[in-house]
Structure 1
């Protein structure tokens, strides 16, 4: 059943194969050496990683079940690891070029998108992994690929809950205007946690104006990279709710909460 009705079932039926084709063709071109310059290779590898995340979100919007999402979410990790491998092959003089792709906060644009996009997609990825009950080893590899330990208080608290506490946790948020309520939920009581998640969701979309997908429900359906609509879902809210064992029934009807994946997995409740 279609979960996001801002677009029709026919729209998603056309979009989903475009993801598969785009990922396959870009990977083939990367493998064949069609991207000659190192920075072009890095751009392609980065696009593959983000496309895999967006494909999973689009499938959720079109009605995919948890079981149907499992293989799609599993395919994100090798593409993220490929991004690191491509970055490792950059010439020494160009190693600085990888920073906008890998370092959260205070970095310039990469592939034409603001740095906050990399942060949001990392949280979405972790949310999808938890929602599809990925095993501990897979999640730990994902956290290792994401990196940035000790740079952001929310990411560090999430990593600690997932079994990978940083040696020196950050105390501040890289994006406080957006993520302050989620961080506060980690130190709040159960009732207050529900309230904080609700506050976060109420302001989530308007605070994501720099995100590539903001206002994409108005796009012209050309399916160019990031120029399409995959759905507006705060998988980071779901992630925090699941990690904290919050009863999210009061959030089920929120327009931005992916309640179709809200069942509690084993081992993550308090």
Structure 2
């Protein structure tokens, strides 16, 4: 019984298998001297990326959420190695562009996802502390800092939302009276995906902003599924807030982007593979292209 009907069970099985094999291959390669030392920090972070995408692929396939926690420990280790090497490789400007929540939408989202997964999966305290050190940006964001502060009591709270579109809506849900929070959480989930796509003329988007006006995964799978690297489109940010602040998420459970089973398995819609719409076939070399593209 799958959770994401964009792919069949065969698609999700192949996606999970491919990610696992890629992680194994990259891990072996990481043990050898690098042919390009300047790229090595980014290469190590590519393994981090493969791990959190694997977690979401497995969730999309219908796997039990508690099985996802096993990936946090290796993910954190590779991220720490990436940051350690980056200190001697990246320029000050590169470090700022990579880590700033205001400048880098992708980084903000990934940090939010990992915090959310850490909260709902209740990772051990030592792993949580390592995650918070890696995330950094203490006191930079009025929303994500609040979420972190529910488990990290000494966390400084920022005064503005670094990525106001769409996340100002989620802050509004947190700050609303309890009687209005459920509806506002649903409203955020409804607008989350469409509002992540920013126009190049969006206020605050400038030449200093990191590369893209939308997340790197935003259109994955839209044109052709099999070789796209699509791993699901899950609004983990909403489930993180529901967990952190005890907001009733019942109104969100039927939304196709809301991963309600992360809070308690068996609540979100599940689908037998037989009812999944047939996806356009891609040549077998599609997965090879994805492998070489990594």
Q: Shorter-chain TM-score: what band?
A: 0.7 to 0.9
Shift of 1:205: 0.8
Structure 1 runs of 4+ aligned residues shifted over 4 Å read none
1:14 is aligned to 2:38: no
**Cα distance change, pair 123–85 in 1 and its aligned pair in 2 (3 A):** same
TM superposition score normalised by structure 1 = 0.85
Kindly indicate whether the alpha-carbon contact (under 8 Å) linking 1:184 and 1:196 is maintained by their aligned counterparts in 2.
yes
Kindly indicate whether the alpha-carbon contact (under 8 Å) linking 1:238 and 1:257 is maintained by their aligned counterparts in 2.
yes
Write the distance in 2 (CA, Å) between the matches of 1:259 and 1:141.
26
**Cα distance change, pair 156–59 in 1 and its aligned pair in 2 (3 A):** same
Shift of 1:255: 1.2
Which one of 183, 187, 192 corresponds to residue 204 of structure 1? 192
Shift of 1:74: 3.8
User: What corresponds to 2:121 in structure 1?
Assistant: 132
User: What corresponds to 1:245 in structure 2?
Assistant: 246
Write the distance in 1 (CA, Å) between the matches of 2:196 and 2:35.
32
Shift of 1:233: 0.6
Shift of 1:145: 0.7
Kindly indicate whether the alpha-carbon contact (under 8 Å) linking 1:159 and 1:165 is maintained by their aligned counterparts in 2.
no
Kindly indicate whether the alpha-carbon contact (under 8 Å) linking 2:11 and 2:226 is maintained by their aligned counterparts in 1.
no
Deviates more, 1:135-144 or 1:60-69: 135-144
The C-alpha deviation readout for 1:44-97, integer Å capped at 9, x for no partner, is: 122111221111011100011022112124432222212211212327xx3543
**Using CA pairs below 8 Å that are at least 6 residues apart, which structure has the higher relative contact order?**
2
User: What corresponds to 1:111 in structure 2?
Assistant: none
User: What corresponds to 1:52 in structure 2?
Assistant: 51
Write the distance in 2 (CA, Å) between the matches of 1:236 and 1:125.
9
Write the distance in 2 (CA, Å) between the matches of 1:23 and 1:101.
22
Structure 2 unmatched ranges of 5 or more = 198-213, 266-294
Write the distance in 2 (CA, Å) between the matches of 1:237 and 1:194.
11
Instruction: Indicate the structure (1 or 2) with the bigger Cα radius of gyration.
Output: 2
Write the distance in 2 (CA, Å) between the matches of 1:213 and 1:18.
17
Structure 1 unmatched ranges of 5 or more = 107-114, 265-270
TM superposition score normalised by structure 2 = 0.79
Say what the alpha-carbon RMSD is for the aligned residues. Answer: 1.9
